[in-house]
């Protein structure tokens, strides 16, 4: 099987995808020359719309190839679903108006401030990932994965990225930042979405 092309330069996402791919005997790679390509504008209101925008945009540079792009983030029930699609730039004063991601620690700090003093039973949330597969500028399929958990009141673990140190997964009593990439892929939103993609891809 040819390597599966992912439209991202995010090292954390590439580790997640590689971890999910390893048990299936497939290889994932970033789109060739990704950093030199014009950037896709992620201004959609949903994970689905942003994943489609990115996959369609970057697939235009690789004629005939299937290109994957994902949009993902954390939805916290007590915050009305925030940070949601603004997860990567949540620390910005107006995250919906910037295309530049903010620092992971700053994003986590804002969440902790907003949840300060809130009891554990109200700190529920989920990671969501939507993967879009596109060819020649057209989306051919999308795949959604979710992981339900609890938002801790302090970080735990040194692995992962983004909100992983705050996201406690009750099923294994660890945060996503306490897991190796292959283990994380078994439980994560990105791993779930990627497995759905692979089942579809195997039928192609």
The answer to whether residue 71 is catalytic is yes
Cis status of the peptide bond prior to 83, with omega within 30 of 0: yes
Count the neighbouring beta carbons within 10 Å of the beta carbon of residue 170: 9
Alpha helices, H only, 104-175: 104-115
* Integer Cα distance of 23 and 12 in angstroms: 18
State whether residue 46 is helix, strand or coil.
coil
What is the b/e burial string over 104-124, where b = at least 16 CB atoms within 10 angstroms of the residue's CB? beebbebbeeebeeeeeeebe
Residues near 157 by beta carbon (within 8 Å), at least 6 away in sequence: 164, 165, 174, 175, 176, 177, 178, 179
Catalytic residue among 16, 70, 71, 164: 71
List beta partners, residue 132. 69, 142
Residues marked active site are found at 71
């Amino acid at each position: 099987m040819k390597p599966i092309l992912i439209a991202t330069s995010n090292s954390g996402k590439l580790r997640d995808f590689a971890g999910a791919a390893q048990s299936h005997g497939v290889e994932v790679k970033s789109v060739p020359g990704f950093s030199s390509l014009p950037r896709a504008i992620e201004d959609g209101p949903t994970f689905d719309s942003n994943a489609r925008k990115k996959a369609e945009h970057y697939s235009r540079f690789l004629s005939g190839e299937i290109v994957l792009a994902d949009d993902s983030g954390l939805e916290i029930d007590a915050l009305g679903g925030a940070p949601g699609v603004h997860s990567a730039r949540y620390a910005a004063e107006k995250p919906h108006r910037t295309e530049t991601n903010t620092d992971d620690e700053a994003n986590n700090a804002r969440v902790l401030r907003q949840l300060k003093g809130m009891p554990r039973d109200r700190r529920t949330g989920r990671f969501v990932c939507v993967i879009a597969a596109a060819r020649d500028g057209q989306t051919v399929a999308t795949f959604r994965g979710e992981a339900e958990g609890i938002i801790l009141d302090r970080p735990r673990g040194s692995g992962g990225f983004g909100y992983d140190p705050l996201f406690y997964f009750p099923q294994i009593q660890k945060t996503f930042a306490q897991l190796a990439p292959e283990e994380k892929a078994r439980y994560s939103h990105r791993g779930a979405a990627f497995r759905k993609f692979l089942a579809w891809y195997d039928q192609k």
